[in-house]
C-alpha cells in the first residue's frame, strides 16, 4: 500500500511546488503531542501523600535503611573528623613537639581514612540491599496493578513500561539519594556543632547558623527556584518525544492536510521552550552551588573570628576553620537532596497512585482513561443507522459544507503512467480517469494493482512519468504543495492518528471547524456515540499512534477527519478497513452522503459492497484499467469484478464453505 516515492529512483520527485511561494496555511495545526497526555504538575499535598505511601512500603526494611543512614552519617563524620584531626596534626607538628604527643593523632588519621572507606562501602551495600529488596516488592505490585488494568493490551505499553521502570526508580532515588544522605547530613551537622561547642560556644553558634543556611535555607531556595521549571520540563520532554513520533509517522497525513509547516513550528516552539527551561535550571543550579561555596567560606571565617574573639588558641582555631568548611560542605548535600526530590515528584505520585488506588486522594494517573469501549475490538455496527435517514444525511452534508471553503474541481488523468523504479513494470500504465465536479468513482482491483498509486497521483505525492494529471485543466505539478491539499485530499492509505485528543485529531482536517461540523463528520464516520460515551468526550486522548483506540475506531477518526476537511476532490483509500461488513456498509453510506454536493469522490476499496450508487467503477489490474462501468453492468459481465463480487457475497453470508463442496 506504500505510495511514497521509490527510493531515489523515481524519475520525477513528488511535491515539485514545495519551494514555490505558498498560500498562507489554512489554520493552526492540531498540536499533536502538545503534552495533552501529560498530568498537571503535582501539588505539595499529593507529593507528601505519595511519599508517605512509598515510605510505608519501606517498613519491613526499616532496620536496614536506618543502618544505611547511620553508616552514611559515620562516613561523613569520619571525613569531618579526618580533616579536623589532620589539621590539628599538621599545625601541631609545625611546633616540633615530642613524637609521642602526635602518635594518637597519627593513628587516628589512619584509622579515620580507612574507616571512611569501609563505612562508605558498607553503607552502599546496606542501602542498596534494602532499597533493591523494597523495589522488587514495589515493581511486583505495580506490575500486578498494570496487568490488572490491561494497559499493554490497550496499546499503552510505552506508558506501562515507563511506570514500571523510571517511575519505580523514583522510589529508589527518594531513599538512596534523598533520605539516606539527607539524614546523614543532619546527623553530622548536629555532631559538628556539638564538637565546635567543646572548643568555643560563639564559634559553635556561628557554625550552627551557617549550617542552617546551607542545610535549610539554600535547599528551600533551590526547590522554590526550580520547582516550576522542573514540573514543566518532564511533560515537555514527553511531548517532544511524541512530536518526534508524530512528525515522522504522521508526515504523510500532515502533508495531506497542508499542516506540516505548522506542526514543525509547534514542535520547534516546544523544543526551544525546553532548551530555555533547561538553561534556566542549570543557571539556577550553578547560582545555588556558588552560594553554597560562599556560605561555607563565610561560616568558616565567622567561626574563626568568633573563636579568636573568645581567646581560643591558634591550633584549635585552624581546626575550627577546616572543620567548619567540611561540615558546611556535608550540609550542602541537602541542596542536592532537595533538587533530587523536586525531580522525583511526578514519578512518586504516579507510583503511589498505582500502589494505593484512587481512593487515597493521590493525584490521578497520567492521561484520562478511556473506558472499556476504547479497548473493545471493533466488531459490531456502531451507532450509524444501517439505512441512513435522508434528512439526517442532508443535515450532515450541510453542517460540513457550512465550514467548507473548498470549491468543486474537475480532475482528469490522461494516459497516466507511473513507474517507481527504472526497469520494473509500471505501477500505473496509461490510465485515464475523468473526475468532474460531483462525480463519484470507485477504484477496485487486486492487491498491488495500483489503486493507492492512483490516489497518490491525484494528491500530488507521486508524479507520473508519462501522460497528464490535471486539476481544472492545469497540470497538478503546477500547484504549490501547500494549496493542493485543499483541493484534493482525504483519507490516505494507513492514515495516522496523532497522540492527542479526538478533537485535535479532527481539527487537523479543518482547523476552523466548530462543534457542529465536528459532530456531523464524527456521526458520518460512526464514531459519535463512542465520543459521547467517553468521560472526556472530544478531549479524550487517543494515545500514541491512536493506541488507545481499536483499529476500527482509528479508521473512523481518520475518516471523520477527511470528511471534515471536505476537499473539492475527496480521496478515500479504504475508508472502512478494519470494520466488520455491516459497519463498513453503514459507514460508507453515511460518509458518501455526508460529502457536500458538487464535491467529487475517489473511493478505493477492496470491498465491492456499497458501490451500487457510484457513477463509475474502475477495475485496475497490474496498473491497467481492465474494466470500467457501473456496478450493475460489471456484475452482469464476466471478469474480475463479477468473480470478486460473487466471492465476497458468498463469504459474507457464510456460504463460502458450501460453495467449496464438490
Ligand X SMILES: Nc1ncnc2c1ncn2[C@@H]1O[C@H](COP(=O)(O)OP(=O)(O)OP(=O)(O)O)[C@@H](O)[C@H]1O
Interacting residues with ligand X between 268 and 307 (CB under 6 A): none
Q: Print the SS3 string covering 190-252.
A: HHHHHHHHHHCHHHHHHHHHHHHHHHHHHHHHHHHHHHHHHHHHHHHHHHHHHHHHHHHHCHH
Taking only Cα atoms into account, the Rg of the chain, rounded to an integer number of angstroms, comes to 35
Residue closer to ligand X, measured from CB, 323 or 623: 623
Query: What is the DSSP code string of 522-567?
Result: HHHTT-HHHHHHSTTGGG-B--GGGTTS-HHHHHHHHHHHHHHH--
User: Which one of 16-24, 446-454, 478-486, 646-654 is the stretch in contact with ligand X (CB under 6 A)?
Assistant: 446-454
Residue closer to ligand X, measured from CB, 6 or 614: 6
Binding mask 5-44 for ligand X (x = CB under 6 A): -x--------------------------------------
Q: Is there a contact between 427 and 506 (Cβ–Cβ < 8 Å)? A: no
Residue closer to ligand X, measured from CB, 111 or 622: 622
Q: Please state the φ and ψ torsions of residue 572, each to the nearest 5 degrees.
A: -120, 105
User: Which one of 1-9, 137-145, 168-176, 576-584 is the stretch in contact with ligand X (CB under 6 A)?
Assistant: 1-9
Residue closer to ligand X, measured from CB, 3 or 53: 3
Q: Tell the smallest beta-carbon distance from residue 451 to ligand X (Å).
A: 4
Of the residues 427, 431, 491, 563, which one makes contact with ligand X according to CB under 6 A: 427
Helix (H), strand (E) at residue 416: strand 411-418
User: Which one of 231-239, 448-456, 501-509, 581-589 is the stretch in contact with ligand X (CB under 6 A)?
Assistant: 448-456
Q: Which three cell numbers stand for residue 544?
A: 500514541
Of the residues 297, 408, 448, 480, which one makes contact with ligand X according to CB under 6 A: 448
Q: Tell the smallest beta-carbon distance from residue 615 to ligand X (Å).
A: 21
Q: Tell the smallest beta-carbon distance from residue 583 to ligand X (Å).
A: 20
Q: Is there a contact between 29 and 263 (Cβ–Cβ < 8 Å)? A: yes
Q: What is the DSSP letter of 501?
A: B
Comparing CA positions, the residue from 469, 473, 439, 472 lying closest to residue 454 is: 469
450 binds ligand X (CB under 6 A): yes
Comparing CA positions, the residue from 262, 569, 562 lying closest to residue 406 is: 569
452 binds ligand X (CB under 6 A): yes
Q: Tell the smallest beta-carbon distance from residue 633 to ligand X (Å).
A: 22
User: Which one of 148-156, 296-304, 357-365, 440-448 is the stretch in contact with ligand X (CB under 6 A)?
Assistant: 440-448
Q: Tell the smallest beta-carbon distance from residue 602 to ligand X (Å).
A: 12
2 binds ligand X (CB under 6 A): yes
Q: Is there a contact between 110 and 148 (Cβ–Cβ < 8 Å)? A: no
Of the residues 387, 447, 654, 662, which one makes contact with ligand X according to CB under 6 A: 447
Could you tell me how many residues of this chain bind ligand X (CB under 6 A)?
15
User: Which one of 48-56, 120-128, 137-145, 442-450 is the stretch in contact with ligand X (CB under 6 A)?
Assistant: 442-450
Q: How many helices (H) and strands (E) does the chain have?
A: 24, 10
| Calpha distance 294→292 (Å, rounded) | 5
Of the residues 451, 486, 499, 510, which one makes contact with ligand X according to CB under 6 A: 451
Quote the longest CA-to-CA distance of the chain: 121
Give the HSE-up count for residue 379: Cα atoms under 13 Å, Cβ half-sphere: 4
Distances (CA, A) of 626 to 48, 248, 572: 71, 36, 21
Q: Tell the smallest beta-carbon distance from residue 429 to ligand X (Å).
A: 11
Q: Please state the φ and ψ torsions of residue 214, each to the nearest 5 degrees.
A: -70, -35
Q: Tell the smallest beta-carbon distance from residue 455 to ligand X (Å).
A: 8
Interacting residues with ligand X between 397 and 426 (CB under 6 A): 420
Q: Tell the smallest beta-carbon distance from residue 628 to ligand X (Å).
A: 16
Residue closer to ligand X, measured from CB, 195 or 450: 450
Residue closer to ligand X, measured from CB, 227 or 451: 451
Q: Is there a contact between 578 and 595 (Cβ–Cβ < 8 Å)? A: no
391 binds ligand X (CB under 6 A): no
Q: Tell the smallest beta-carbon distance from residue 644 to ligand X (Å).
A: 12
531 binds ligand X (CB under 6 A): no
Residue closer to ligand X, measured from CB, 7 or 100: 7
106 binds ligand X (CB under 6 A): no
Of the residues 4, 438, 467, 578, which one makes contact with ligand X according to CB under 6 A: 4
Residue closer to ligand X, measured from CB, 404 or 452: 452
1 binds ligand X (CB under 6 A): yes
Helix (H), strand (E) at residue 469: strand 466-471
449 binds ligand X (CB under 6 A): yes
Q: Is there a contact between 560 and 526 (Cβ–Cβ < 8 Å)? A: no
Residue closer to ligand X, measured from CB, 248 or 447: 447
Q: Which three cell numbers stand for residue 55?
A: 515510605
Sign of CA dihedral 350, 356, 357, 359: negative
Helix (H), strand (E) at residue 575: none
Q: Tell the smallest beta-carbon distance from residue 333 to ligand X (Å).
A: 58
200 binds ligand X (CB under 6 A): no
Q: Tell the smallest beta-carbon distance from residue 554 to ligand X (Å).
A: 17
Q: Is there a contact between 191 and 326 (Cβ–Cβ < 8 Å)? A: no
Quick one: how far is CA 387 from the chain centroid? 40
Q: What is the DSSP letter of 166?
A: I
Across the beta sheet with 600-604, the strand order is 488-491, 569-573, 600-604, 440-444, 616-621, 624-629
Three-state DSSP at 315 gives helix
Q: Site residues (CB under 6 A) for ligand X? A: 1-4, 6, 420, 427, 445, 447-453
Amino acid at each position: 500500500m506504500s505510495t511514497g516515492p521509490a527510493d531515489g529512483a523515481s524519475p520525477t520527485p513528488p511535491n515539485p511546488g514545495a519551494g514555490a511561494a505558498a498560500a498562507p496555511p489554512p489554520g493552526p495545526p492540531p498540536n499533536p503531542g502538545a503534552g495533552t497526555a501529560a498530568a498537571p504538575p503535582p501539588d505539595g499535598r499529593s507529593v507528601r501523600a505519595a511519599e508517605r505511601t512509598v515510605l510505608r512500603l519501606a517498613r519491613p526494611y526499616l532496620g536496614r535503611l536506618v543502618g544505611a543512614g547511620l553508616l552514611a552519617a559515620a562516613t561523613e563524620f569520619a571525613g569531618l573528623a579526618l580533616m579536623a584531626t589532620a589539621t590539628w596534626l599538621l599545625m601541631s607538628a609545625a611546633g616540633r613537639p615530642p613524637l609521642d604527643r602526635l602518635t594518637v593523632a597519627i593513628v587516628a588519621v589512619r584509622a579515620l581514612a580507612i574507616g571512611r572507606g569501609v563505612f562508605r562501602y558498607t553503607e552502599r551495600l546496606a542501602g542498596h540491599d534494602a532499597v533493591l529488596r523494597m523495589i522488587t516488592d514495589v515493581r511486583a505490585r505495580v506490575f500486578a496493578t498494570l496487568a490488572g488494568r490491561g494497559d499493554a493490551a490497550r496499546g499503552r505499553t510505552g506508558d506501562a513500561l515507563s511506570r514500571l521502570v523510571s517511575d519505580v526508580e523514583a522510589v529508589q532515588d527518594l531513599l538512596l539519594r534523598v533520605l539516606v544522605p539527607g539524614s546523614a547530613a543532619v546527623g553530622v551537622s548536629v555532631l559538628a556543632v556539638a564538637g565546635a561547642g567543646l572548643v568555643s560556644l560563639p564559634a559553635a553558634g556561628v557554625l550552627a547558623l551557617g549550617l542552617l543556611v546551607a542545610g535549610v535555607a539554600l535547599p528551600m531556595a533551590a526547590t522554590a527556584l526550580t520547582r516550576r521549571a522542573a514540573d514543566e520540563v518532564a511533560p515537555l520532554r514527553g511531548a517532544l518525544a511524541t512530536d518526534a513520533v508524530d512528525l515522522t509517522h504522521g508526515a504523510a497525513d500532515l502533508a495531506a492536510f497542508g499542516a506540516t509547516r505548522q506542526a514543525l513550528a509547534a514542535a520547534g516552539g516546544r523544543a526551544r521552550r525546553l532548551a530555555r527551561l533547561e538553561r534556566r535550571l542549570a543557571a539556577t543550579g550553578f547560582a545555588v552551588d556558588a552560594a553554597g561555596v560562599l556560605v561555607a567560606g563565610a561560616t568558616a571565617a565567622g567561626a574563626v573570628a568568633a573563636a579568636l574573639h573568645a581567646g581560643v588558641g591558634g591550633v584549635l582555631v585552624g581546626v575550627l576553620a577546616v572543620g567548619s568548611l567540611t561540615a558546611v560542605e556535608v550540609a550542602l548535600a541537602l541542596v542536592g537532596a532537595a533538587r533530587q526530590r523536586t525531580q522525583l515528584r511526578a514519578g512518586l505520585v504516579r507510583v503511589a497512585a498505582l500502589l494505593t488506588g484512587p481512593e487515597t486522594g493521590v493525584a490521578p494517573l497520567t492521561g484520562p482513561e478511556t473506558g472499556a469501549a476504547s479497548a473493545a475490538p471493533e466488531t459490531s455496527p456502531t451507532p450509524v443507522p444501517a439505512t441512513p435517514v435522508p434528512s439526517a444525511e442532508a443535515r450532515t452534508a450541510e453542517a460540513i459544507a457550512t465550514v467548507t471553503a473548498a470549491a468543486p474541481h474537475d480532475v482528469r488523468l490522461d494516459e497516466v503512467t507511473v513507474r517507481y523504479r527504472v526497469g520494473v513494470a509500471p505501477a500505473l500504465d496509461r490510465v485515464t480517469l475523468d473526475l468532474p465536479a460531483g462525480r463519484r468513482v470507485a477504484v477496485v482491483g487486486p492487491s498491488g494493482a495500483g489503486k493507492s498509486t492512483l490516489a497518490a497521483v491525484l494528491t500530488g505525492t507521486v508524479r507520473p512519468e508519462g501522460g497528464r494529471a490535471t486539476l481544472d485543466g492545469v497540470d497538478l505539478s503546477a500547484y504549490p504543495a501547500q494549496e493542493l491539499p485543499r483541493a484534493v485530499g482525504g483519507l490516505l492509505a494507513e492514515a495516522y492518528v496523532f497522540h492527542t485528543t479526538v478533537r485535535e485529531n479532527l481539527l487537523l482536517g479543518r482547523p476552523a471547524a466548530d462543534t457542529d461540523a465536528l459532530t456531523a463528520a464524527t456521526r458520518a464516520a460512526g464514531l459519535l456515540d463512542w465520543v459521547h460515551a467517553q468521560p472526556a468526550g472530544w478531549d479524550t486522548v487517543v494515545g500514541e499512534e491512536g493506541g488507545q483506540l481499536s483499529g476500527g475506531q482509528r479508521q473512523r477518526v481518520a475518516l471523520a477527519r477527511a470528511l471534515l476537511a471536505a476537499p473539492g476532490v475527496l480521496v478515500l483509500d479504504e475508508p472502512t478497513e478494519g470494520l466488520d461488513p455491516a459497519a463498513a456498509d453503514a459507514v460508507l453510506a453515511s460518509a458518501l452522503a455526508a460529502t457536500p454536493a458538487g464535491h467529487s469522490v475517489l473511493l478505493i476499496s477492496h470491498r465491492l459492497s456499497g458501490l451500487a450508487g457510484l457513477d463509475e467503477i474502475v477495475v485496475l489490474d497490474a496498473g491497467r484499467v481492465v474494466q470500467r462501468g457501473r456496478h450493475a453492468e460489471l456484475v452482469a459481465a464476466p471478469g474480475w469484478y463479477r468473480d470478486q463480487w460473487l466471492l465476497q457475497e458468498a463469504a459474507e453470508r457464510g456460504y463460502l464453505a458450501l460453495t467449496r463442496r464438490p
